[in-house]
A and B are shown apart, each in its own frame.
Chain A
Amino acid sequence: MLEVKDLHVTVEDKAILKGLNLTINAGEVHAIMGPNGAGKSTLSAVIAGKDGYEVTQGTILFEGQDVLEMEIEERARAGLLLGFQYPVEIPGVKNIYLLKAALNAQRAARGEGEIPAPEFMKLVREKSAEMKMDPSFLQRAVNEGFSGGEKKRNEILQMLVLQPKLAMLDEIDSGLDIDAMKVVADGVNSLRDANRAILLVTHYQRLLNHIEPDHVHVLVDGRIVKSGDKDLALELEARGYDWVLEGSAA
């Protein structure tokens, strides 16, 4: 589904990713872990198309399409969706309005008509309930005055409504208490199916107790230095990133 080959990325002339390779197939959940500053968030940002990142080498293919040639919104419409670490506030724009505009934009790209209002309301109410969000959130301005946990739940709500093929979740666990973590994890787990893939970017292993990954990759200094299954995350938790560094240097 997603194929990242020899990806080199610089930010303001500073090399951040230095030859990253990653293949994600449908039905898989991948977790990218690594110390601060390793380039974890850069990877998902580049795939989503954020400005300010220069790809100097390498390719990103999504279902055979060259992602780097696509506009930001085209990537989203193709099914690549990024859940933000720090979702922005948009004053005066209702949450439900953004959801509807996004869903209809994606439907239009697939050649489908706008979703009928009753159907949309039913869908959104159902999904908000899954995320244990009061329906009043839908009427509030996007992320405005939301707590950290509410913002993260709102990100997952968008995923549940938009049903991406590849959901990229950047530090979705940061700032969550244990109850909110459970709700967010349940939401993410409900997205799991054979036709969809999930890419988790996280600093801590604890998220992976709730969302069990098929593959774990350790990103250090712009490269994936070690890959394994979920046990790798546990080992990292126990032994720290230095252990991987020593291992890879040896």
Chain B
Amino acid sequence: MDWFNEFPHMNDESLRQLKLSIDNAFRTFTRNYGDFIEGLFTPLAKFLIWAERLMTQTQWPIILIAIVAIAWFASRSLKVVVGTMVTLLLIGYFDMWMDAMRTISMIFVCTVISIVVGLPIGIAMSRSDRLQKIVSPVLDVMQTMPSFVYLIPVVMLLGIGRVPGLIAVVIYALPPMIRLTDLGIRLVDRDVLEAADAFGSSRWQKLKNIQLPLALPTIMAGINQTIMMALAMVVIASMIGVQGLGQPVLKAIANQYFTLGIFNGLAIVGIAIIFDRVSQAYGERLQKHREIVHG
């Protein structure tokens, strides 16, 4: 009855061999192709560095005015604008301006990449049920796999620094962008699509004139989710060398600096709220035409 009390597992020696051989194979792969793969990501690294320099080397009042202006044009709401300004001033006053700018630049780059990658995948998925069945479980894995696990191969391949951090954040933040693009396009009114067909629209015309504009509020919700998830990854990404508000938090954990932790944590929350309110208000403004004024 041994097998009943203890699960009959693979014998220890072969299991050890299996893990070892996979590890060795991956290590060889890393040695042979690591440089090549790192080369592929150089444009990304340049983009990241450019964004970070832009945010950190520009004088703070200019950045402040720019962010407040963007908040105003996106939301047209005084409440959101005042909230944005006060949050940024507090972050600066408590000497977290530089780290906050590094984090914002990182989030900005991650969001841009998520949109550039996610939007076409989402569109392709909405057109093919088969592709949707293939991609959906991959997205599930991306969202549920503990991030430390996929950090291991990324760090082995690319070392420590901004780019592996970026990849880790994008893996985590990409799924909502893809899912909500897919959903938004699938929810587009069939009657309107039929009308577009009846007037002889090509596939591209249908996408450009009907599907994307009508899916835009849902896509905006996806972008909003992507930004939130990217911010949630800031601390974990700081473990592999991403600079910004995550690093002081990491230091605070290691040394039990309670106040340092809470200040930087609150700064992350503040930035998250700014991004969230501004992008949501923008999404709502896009839906203005949906208001039913006349029954």
Q: Do A and B come from one complex?
A: no
